[in-house]
Amino acid sequence: MRPAPFPIVKDLVLVGGGHSHVIALKRIGMRPIPGVRVTVIARDIDTPYSGMLPGLIAGHYTFDQIHIDLGPLAQFAGARFYHDDAIGLDLTNSVVHCQNRPPVHYDVLSIDIGVTPAFRAVGAKDHAVPVKPIGTLAARLERLRARVRREYRPLKIGVVGAGAAGVELTLAIQFALCKDESSLENQTEARVEHEFHLFSAAETVLPTHNRRTQRVFLRILRERGVHVHLRCRVVQVKPDGLVAEDKTYYPVDEIVWATEARAQQWPGVSGLEVDELGFICVDDTLQSRSHQGVFAAGDIAAVVNHPREKAGVFAVRQGAPLEANLRRSLKGQPLKPFMPQRKFLSLVSTGDQYAVASRGRWSIEGGWVWRWKDWIDQRFIKRFRDLPPMNEAADRPSSQLAAVASPDVVRELSAVAMRCGGCGSKVGATILNQVLKRLQPIDRADVVLGLDALDDASIERVPAGLVAVRTVDAFRSIVDDPYTFGRIAANHCLGDVYAMGADPITALALATIPLGPECKMEQLLEELLSGAVDVLNAADTALVGGHTKEGLETELGLALTGVGQPDHLLRKGGMKPGDHLLVTKPIGTGTLFAAHMRMKARGCWIDAAVEMMLQSSREAGNVLRANGATACTDVTGFGLLGHLLEMTRASQVDACLRFEAIPLLDGAAETVAGGYLSSLQPQNARLRSAIANIAAVRSQTIYSVLFDPQTAGGLLASVPADSVTVCLNRLHAAGYLRASDIGTVEPLSDRAAPIHIEV
């Protein structure tokens, strides 16, 4: 990723991707804060705009139309995006604990994590579908629609909760099912009429709205045939029905839970002041009443002096004042209070393209109201989809750092700027020693001297009858999360050993980290090496030493030693005519991350690519070796065609690839077609002369993917024809679900270009 234009002196961490945070991120991207590193921790990459959920259910919008992609937005804001769940805080040491990664340090923290369902009835958690998270609801309703098409019988659907969410969802589901019936209706069969029940513990529907709006919706629900049960509190949910407080039993086939929500427990358990429902108590500045430097916004926040209902409009309005106060807090400036409005415009849809507007005591309805609502909603989403192009960081005076840095940090950074580099830019012993104390690399019996020794080099034994296999690789960070990058880098480097059919035993690390205050450098180095050590430990490989230096950006390399039996090692040479070519992972990381740097890749594409890069090739190597692989290599910087060309030359054979059989990562075809290519692509593309039918291949839209450089790519191997089916089945069973048979090995011909590609 791009090196930071300033040393990092403070960390702003945003937990959650709610409405307030997406607005804050956009504003930070428009006006970055020198010296501040922003990190976003979120469970979901695509964050939904709640006001458009009924439209999604009714079929007026697609999934993409109602979601904000946090990946490009974080890129625009210059923020690191950690796809993970926050599970707790250490308020004393200022760290956020996450589900699947090391703790994240902060100087200023903001929380916007929304709410979770309040399942107050017995059995509701087991048998009802909550409105949130939206992904779960949408998937369950899609299964309901499939069930309706399959069974073609009337179903009873119950919605518990008659606020705006419950009413809108009831009418949206009804509209969607009726639309399905209209499109599938058979002239010889009677139309299926589904039965809808809406349960309200209050005396009416939409209890927080004015009476006119309540009357309008009671009329609409009656006209649509919805059975409305008022003053009917549900106390028990069974697999096939609901039980009310008065013991009345209502049989239903599907149950949607849309009652009031509650807060997640971890903010209160961590020690933040919360109210009786677990919402974080904040003052008028949106700062926690119990802890300075901790903010909360959106539904998770309870503004003590201005209590309001949980509505998206308040979260949206809090975005700008939240960002302004986060900026002030980082600079040590006084915070400014924010007072939310008492009355707000509410636009409630009726399933079809019709809606009701209410504010205060007035209410109005019509198709034009829905079009108005659609215009407002689409305009909001557009703010985060049409992001301006990123500008390269301009030189700015380092004096700007004084706004967020303490005098001690400024003096420290001044000393950093004067470092001569004569010591090899080596990181100081204090930082390194502190990090090494907390790392937990495994011990191996064949390591005589390792990381715990003070000597200048490691010593290890090579067991009798085996040979040593050594390799080294290093590259700059392609993701913003140093822990994830450490894991990716270790997987990438280990791929060379697995491709040889050897077992890694030790590793030396070469790490580069940007200049900054010692505390920030220490945190970064620990996360980076922790990621690498986690992967090395899983590979039964001991980290025995290395070298750490200062630089402009984060880099990591590993020098690995492995061992193997001389007769069982795999090499690039060895392919035989008739063998089939298998690849264990899809390709496309180069083009995806080229697009990512330009904010043109969807967050879910990058997330899937990272998951692929985090998959070890260890078991793939074992499967290939057990099934008689004759040659093997890992697909990395030279791209699929470059590495295959090496194998054909070493084996003195030709090869035929089936273009349509090559597995691609999600989004790679789109980014290649869009012209987003890695900076290494032009060098790799010089190998196009190795393609015998280059004229036919070049006309393919995704031709360039053949030269796409890979990071932590899969293995490319030749396997005897009679082993292909078994080998692929075993690769799929081992988790390499996209492993594919992409071609065959042919006898050496007299043509100059050894590779033919079927298109």
The catalytic residues are: 423
- Specify whether the backbone of 278 is left (phi greater than 0), alpha (psi in -120 to 50) or beta: left
CA–CA–CA angle 740, 743, 745 (5° rounding): 135
Q: What Rg do the C-alpha atoms of the chain give, in angstroms?
A: 30
Rounded distance between C-alpha atoms, residue 462 and residue 438, angstroms? 28
Rounded distance between C-alpha atoms, residue 725 and residue 518, angstroms? 55
Task: Classify residue 615 as exposed, middle or buried by CB count within 10 Å of its CB (0-12, 13-18, 19+).
Answer: middle
Dihedral over alpha carbons 162, 168, 171, 172 (to 10 degrees):
-140
Rounded distance between C-alpha atoms, residue 271 and residue 287, angstroms? 15
CA–CA–CA angle 696, 703, 577 (5° rounding): 70
Residue count of the chain, please give it. 759
Q: Do residues 242 and 236 touch, judged by C-beta distance below 8 A?
A: yes
Question: Any bridge partners for residue 155, and if so which?
Answer: none
Supply 544's token pair: 């025995």
Question: What Cα–Cα distance (Å) separates residue 687 from each residue in 640, 644, 646, 683, 712?
Answer: 11, 11, 11, 8, 21
CB atoms within 10 A of CB 562: 25
348-387: b (≥16 Cβ within 10 Å) or e: bbbbbbbbbbbeeeebebeeebbeebbeebeebbeebeeb
Supply 673's token pair: 């077609």
H helix intervals, 101-240: 124-127, 134-151, 164-184, 211-223
Question: What Cα–Cα distance (Å) separates residue 320 from each residue in 23, 75, 157, 431?
Answer: 7, 19, 40, 38
Q: Do residues 216 and 348 touch, judged by C-beta distance below 8 A?
A: no
